[in-house]
Amino acid sequence: MPYLFTSESVSEGHPDKVADQISDALIDHFLAFDPDSKVACETLVTTGQVVLAGEVKTNVYLDVQKIARDVISRIGYNKGEYMFDASSCGVLSAIHDQSADINQGVDRRPQAEDFEARANAQGAGDQGIMFGYATRETENYMPLALDLAHKLLQELSDIRNNEPNLIPYLRPDAKSQVTIEYSDDNTPLRIDTIVVSTQHDDFDTEEAMLAKIKADIINIVIPRVMAKLKPETQQLFNSAITYHINPTGKFVIGGPHGDTGLTGRKIIVDTYGGKGAHGGGAFSGKDPSKVDRSAAYATRHMAKNAVAAGLADEILVQISYAIGVAKPCGLFVNTYGTSKVGLTDGEIAVKLSELFDLRPYAIEQRLKLRKPIYSETAAYGHMGRKNEIVTKEFKATDGNSVKLEVELFTWEKLDYVDKIKSAFGL
């Protein structure tokens, strides 16, 4: 019997995402000047206020208030009427030194600088479980409902930032949701429902507002999104789609003024939209010694390359760690009955663990995670994004600046496909 599955996304102006982006901007600045920085930074945003809290071990001093304001301004909160303005909001920093008790298990560096010694010495920053997932549903090996939910809001953001005259009333805060009908064999059949709620300027009447926003979403945004999709995905759009556009009505009050935002509250938006699984740990605000982040990237890298190699149509990978210990506690693989090789999922897990070094230091080195690459992850998902090389510039409080060429979303590279094919005889 056909079934429905739904995923949601939120824009860069959503209060929780504002908090994520500030936390990750701090991570990037610390790593730009001191790649060995250990950082766990949480952010709270509310009406006219930003609170920064967390633990840092670094040799650089930063103007964290300016970094926060720059992020807020870039997002688009730069008008007093929003009740959250980059130039006037208060920014309180309660960041302090990292606990020596925690650091002793992570930063046990041997005198030798060879790879094996470092990899065996650097333990996981915490205990926990992390998941990676991939599916053939989309070109980027992501679940389709989440991919479409992200694309709707990315298109809205692109219009707001680059073509403001096209839909001139848009404000930064927005949410989307896509429901897809699947067949018994898990094939997408059609889009059942699309939900979009976007913050907007005030209108003269609510009736005119609702009509205008609904018309613009359906007649401008949806066609622009569709034009960027493969023909088979375009065919899922149909005249019977149920649209809920700003279903509560007026949405003028939004962003941190409408709802307090916190780092790490959108972990399902950040990952797979409810498909697969999530270990529970958030990503933003954490340096890569925190396996909540780095191991989640590593398992996505593993799952994506395995699906791309033809090992299975859908794969979930789980890994677990003990704090201060380099070797993972275990690796679990679920192919959901889609495996293309004559091995059990347990046997597949063993062979994959032989191909991918999952010690924390090895993950950091393989995926180049000690670089300032995290601001780009903090909105529209950490997975399924474009792997590319960019140049970024950072300025320190003392006036010094550094310009770095960095590679973004390294865990999305398909650089292990041939190794997997060889190992599994594909």
| Residue numbering of the annotated binding site for ATP | 14, 173-175, 250-251, 259, 265-266, 282, 286
Q: What is the DSSP letter of 43?
A: E
Tell how strand 188-200 and strand 128-135 pair up. unpaired
97-111 burial, b at 16+ Cβ within 10 Å, e below that, comes to ebeeebbebbbeeee
For residue 126, the one-letter residue type is D
CA angle 158, 162, 163 (to 5 degrees): 95
DSSP H or E run through 245? strand 242-245
Q: Which residues are annotated as a binding site for Mg(2+)?
A: 16
Q: Which residues are annotated as a binding site?
A: 14, 16, 42, 55, 98, 173-175, 250-251, 259, 265-266, 282, 286, 290
Question: For residue 5, how far is the Cα from the chain centroid?
Answer: 20
Q: What's the N-to-C CA distance of the chain in angstroms?
A: 33
Q: Which residues are annotated as a binding site for K(+)?
A: 42
* CB contact at 8 A, 92 and 64: no
Q: Which residues are annotated as a binding site for L-methionine?
A: 55, 98, 259, 290
DSSP string, 264-299: TS-HHHHTTTTSS---S---TTB-TTSHHHHHHHHH
Cα 108 to Cα 105: distance, rounded to the nearest angstrom:
6
What stretches of 317-398 show up as alpha helix (H) in DSSP?
345-355, 360-366
